[in-house]
């Protein structure tokens, strides 16, 4: 149960399914398409399969998976949707925090403001409730619960990332999928001018008893991982190679792991005059590529002759 073909995860866990659009990246949502195929089955309502739905029977599902997995949490919805009650989200966090199996839980949202509010509430419960053991009171941030936001363009990067970086977590990441335009993450990937620690090390150690370890830090918390990928499915929009290369180069310069998932439905090929490609994108005048729709499998994930499938170092 829970196995997935998502390249950066081993399993999916969906105690909540369903969502509603909040930005341009939602336009061709794969989860909504899949829910329609599952209408009336597997817990998806027959009349409105992508309606936000709670699945309390799935809350302890990862506890039964003995072999450690990278678990994408709520791949078929958004855990922080406004229709999901606070107490249910807190139950999900308790399951992740105290799960005996050594899974990595990757929580991705387009609603970081609510994520921040809920985690602050969760921390308050852990620290302020009498009768808790010392282990329970020190349960957050948890080493194996990673927090991320979807960033499809620069507008969403500017809106969502600053909120994410205010949330205590050992790993913070962004998923630039579908990547719909150039995105500059450099100001969130740099080296701290106060302590000289790079982003890959700074994030896991900065939060200590509610305080930054380096009092001279001139930055907020940093990103520890970047995922990028093109759009898939009917109506998919092509992704320019320079958008992906830029993200990779930003990550390499900062020492941040980079994972390139796929080109999506369109494969970029050197420009030709044969007239059967999409020669230009509005964001890139004078584009030197054809974008030929070949399907995700045939488009592949090679970028400049190699795959990029890096992950954060949990021991770092």
**pLDDT, average across residues 158-178:** 94
Question: What element of type H or E holds 174?
Answer: strand 172-176
State the pLDDT at residue 139: 64
Residue 109 CA to residue 95 CA, distance in Å, equals: 18
- The fraction of the chain above a pLDDT of 70, given in percent, is 82
Antiparallel, parallel or unpaired: β 70-73 and 104-109: parallel
Residue 96 preceded by cis peptide, ω within 30 = no
Round to the nearest angstrom and report the end-to-end CA distance of the chain. Answer: 31
Stretch 289-293: mean pLDDT: 89
Give the pLDDT mean for 212-235: 76
Asked if 73 and 4 count as a contact pair (C-beta separation under 8 A), the reply is: no
Q: Would you list the domain boundaries of the chain?
A: 1-167, 177-316
- The winner for highest mean pLDDT among 18-22, 135-139, 140-144 is 18-22
Q: What is the DSSP letter of 103?
A: P
Write the pLDDT tens digit of every residue in 269-282.
888 766 667 777 76
Q: What is the pLDDT of residues 75-129, one digit of tens each?
A: 999 999 999 999 999 999 999 999 999 999 999 999 999 999 999 888 877 665 5
pLDDT at 208: 38
DSSP symbols for 175-202: EE-S--S----GGGTS--TTT---HHHH
Element (H, E) at 11: strand 11-13
pTM strictly above 0.85:
yes
């Amino acid at each position: 149960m829970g196995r997935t073909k998502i390249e950066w995860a081993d399993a999916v866990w969906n105690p909540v399914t369903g969502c509603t659009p909040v930005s341009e990246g939602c336009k061709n949502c794969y989860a909504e398409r899949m829910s329609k195929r599952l209408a009336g089955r597997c817990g998806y309502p027959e009349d409105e399969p992508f309606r936000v739905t709670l699945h309390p029977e799935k809350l302890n599902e990862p506890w039964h998976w003995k072999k450690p997995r990278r678990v994408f949490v709520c791949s078929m919805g958004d855990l922080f949707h406004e229709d999901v009650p606070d107490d249910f989200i807190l139950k999900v966090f308790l399951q992740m925090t105290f799960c005996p199996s050594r899974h990595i839980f990757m929580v991705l949202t387009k609603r970081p403001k609510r994520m921040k509010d809920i985690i602050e509430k969760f921390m308050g419960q852990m620290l302020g409730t009498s009768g808790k053991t010392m282990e329970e009171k020190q349960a957050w941030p948890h080493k194996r619960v990673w927090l991320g936001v979807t960033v499809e363009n620069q507008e969403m990067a500017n809106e969502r990332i600053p909120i994410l970086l205010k949330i205590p977590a050992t790993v913070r990441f962004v998923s630039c999928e579908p990547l719909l335009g150039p995105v500059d993450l450099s100001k969130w990937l740099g080296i701290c001018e106060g302590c000289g620690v790079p982003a890959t090390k700074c994030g896991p150690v900065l939060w200590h008893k509610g305080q930054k370890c380096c009092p001279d830090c001139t930055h907020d918390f940093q990103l520890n991982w970047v995922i990028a990928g093109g759009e898939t499915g009917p109506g998919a929009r092509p992704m320019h190679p320079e958008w992906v290369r830029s993200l990779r180069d930003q990550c390499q310069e900062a020492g941040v792991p980079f994972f390139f998932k796929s080109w999506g439905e369109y494969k970029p090929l050197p420009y030709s005059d044969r007239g059967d490609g999409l020669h230009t994108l509005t964001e890139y005048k004078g584009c030197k590529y054809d974008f030929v729709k070949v399907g995700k499998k045939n488009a592949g994930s090679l970028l400049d002759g190699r795959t990029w499938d890096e992950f954060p170092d949990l021991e770092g």
